[in-house]
Chains A and B, each alone.
Chain A
Amino acid sequence: MEFKDYYKVMGVARDATDAQIKQAYRKLARKYHPDVSKEKDAEARFKEVGEAYEVLKSPEKRAAYDQVGKDYRPGQDFRPPPNWDSGFEFSGAGAGAGDESYSDFFDALFGAQARAGGGRRHAHPGRGEDHHAKVLLDLQASLNGGTRSFTLRMPEIDAEGRLVSKERTLNVQVPKGILAGQQIRLAGQGASARGDGKPGNLYIEVEFQPDPLYRIDGRDLYLDLPVAPWEAALGANVKTPAPSGNVELKIPSGSHAGTKLRLKGRGIPAAQPGDFYVVLQIALPPANDEKTKAAYAALAAALPFNPRASLGV
């Protein structure tokens, strides 16, 4: 087990005041909190900072840590001396954060009971705790429903009272019409109850993976559809990949780049389904042969067209 330098983790001096430690914690917590941070390894860093703060904010734990730590360098192999904690009183306030697991180093010093108060707050008797998870889902699952399998890591307290991480894979019937930011409830898939009560539920919060075709805006879907200049100018029926399958879409004559066509109710399904928008993009034939060049030249000769008229030049 490696010795952890909590002062270094928090970036404070060994003689830092309580106020300085608190200030350092708040700054780091804002930087690395998983709900607000986009830093790499934010979650791991936040746990490390939380653990350091847990020790340094408590006068008893800090004194005990200083006592044990005075002979150690960070990273050095650490063995807690026998009866090292005699003479210290622990208030047992419990860890602040709920779902976190502290390092082996922390557990060796303060024992798993030091955090017992935090995670498992007053559980109601007779019913297991709810679990929460987040997954990335493909848009197709929401459009059509269907079964997806999710592998979730769940912290669990094992028979010896240690916090361990367990993996399990669930096959889930994804409800049609689920949106980004919404939760799927799986009844009875949370923690089992102590005693013979009902197990808790599992809530899975959904975000969508980027879809190769559609942009997703709430229930509405957007597709950029390339059309030839003459299809836009003269109108045409073109084959279009709609979420429900290919459709023939009528492009009205006089369309231009950015023209938005709405197919009502063809977005993400629901009682009030979203809409499907097709946004036209003009695709130009590449002029890399003589025939195409001649066609462009003929068009230029035939038309007095200034595309920059609106810029006053």
Chain B
Amino acid sequence: MFPADDRALPGIIFDESAVLSIHDLSRMCAVDERHLVEFVEEGVLSVVNVSSEWRFTGDALRRARLALRLERDLELNLAGVALAVELIEELAQLRRELGARRQ
């Protein structure tokens, strides 16, 4: 049905394997590191401490980009962004469950 293809691009699961520094994340989101610190302080992003340095999982990239879009397009302040991100994630989860039950 889906033949193995040696020329196919190897994909890796980013969310688990990736351990990003704040510098990496800042480059990937094209945003100031200070802004990411604010996201962490507001609880939009969570960090893992590795020998007194912050590390982010790959999921933080998705959340940070979502937060930045909301902030920019809806002109939300930090607390508004944090709330919206939380609600959007919850909604996505509920939609997945609802979609599964509707079949």
- Point out residues on A near B: beta carbons under 8 Å: 22, 26, 29-30, 33, 35-36, 46, 50, 96-98, 121-124, 127, 129-130, 132, 141, 146-148, 170-175, 177-178, 180-186, 189, 203-205, 207-208, 210-212, 215-217, 222
- 0/1 interface trace, chain B 41-73, chain A, CB 8 Å (1 if under): 000000000000000001101100110011011
Determine if B92 and A181 form an interchain contact, defined as CB atoms under 8 angstroms apart.
yes
25 pairs from A and B in contact (CB 8 Å cutoff): A26-B74, A29-B73, A29-B74, A33-B73, A33-B74, A35-B88, A36-B84, A50-B73, A98-B72, A121-B31, A147-B3, A147-B5, A147-B8, A172-B11, A174-B11, A181-B92, A182-B13, A182-B15, A183-B58, A184-B11, A185-B13, A203-B14, A210-B100, A217-B96, A217-B100
Can you name the residue of chain B whose Cβ is closest to the Cβ of A130?
B28
Residues of B within 8 A of A124 (CB): 27
Docked-complex contact A147 and B96, CB < 8 angstroms? no
Query: Within residues 30 to 46 of chain B, which ones have a CB less than 8 A from any CB in chain A?
Result: 30-31
Interface size on B, residues (CB 8 A): 41
Residues of B within 8 A of A148 (CB): 2
Q: Bound complex: CA of A10 vs CA of B85, how far in Å? A: 26
CB-defined contacts of B12 to chain A, threshold 8 Å: 175, 184-185
Contacts of B66 in A (CB 8 A): 35
- Given A97-B72, A170-B9, decide whether A185 and B14 contact each other with a Cβ distance below 8 A: yes
B11 touches A212 (CB 8 A): no
| Min CB–CB distance B52 → chain A (angstroms) | 26
Per the bound structure, the CA–CA distance linking A240 and B93 in Å amounts to: 28
B18 contacts partner chain A, Cβ-Cβ < 8 Å: yes
B28 to chain A, nearest CB (A): 6
Instruction: Among A123, A127, A147, point to the contact of B2 (Cβ < 8 A).
Output: A147
The DSSP consensus for interface residues of chain B is helix
B residues apposed to A, CB below 8 Å: 2-5, 7-16, 18, 27-28, 30-31, 58-59, 61-62, 65-66, 69-70, 72-75, 84, 88, 92, 96-97, 99-103
- The answer to whether B10 and A210 touch across the interface, beta carbons within 8 angstroms, is no
The interface residues of chain A lying within 8 Å CB-to-CB of B61 are 183, 203
Complex CA–CA separation, A30 to B84 (angstroms): 11
Q: A171-B8, A186-B9, A222-B100 are in contact. Are A26 and B14 (CB under 8 A)?
A: no
Beta-carbon contact of B96 and A216 below 8 Å: yes
CA distance A216 to B102 in the complex (A): 12
For A175, give its contact among B11, B28, B69, B97 (CB under 8 Å). B11
A96–B75 CA distance with the chains assembled, in angstroms: 10
Q: Which residues of A contact B5 (CB under 8 A)?
A: 147, 171, 173
| A residues less than 8 Å from B70 (CB atoms) | 33, 35-36
On chain B, the residues within 8 Å of A222 by CB distance are: 100
Contact among B11, B15, B30, B74 for A121, CB-based, below 8 A? B30
Q: Which of A98, A121, A147 has the most CB of B within 10 A?
A: A147
Closest to A212 in B: B103
Q: Which one, B3, B9, B99, contacts A210 given CB within 8 A?
A: B99
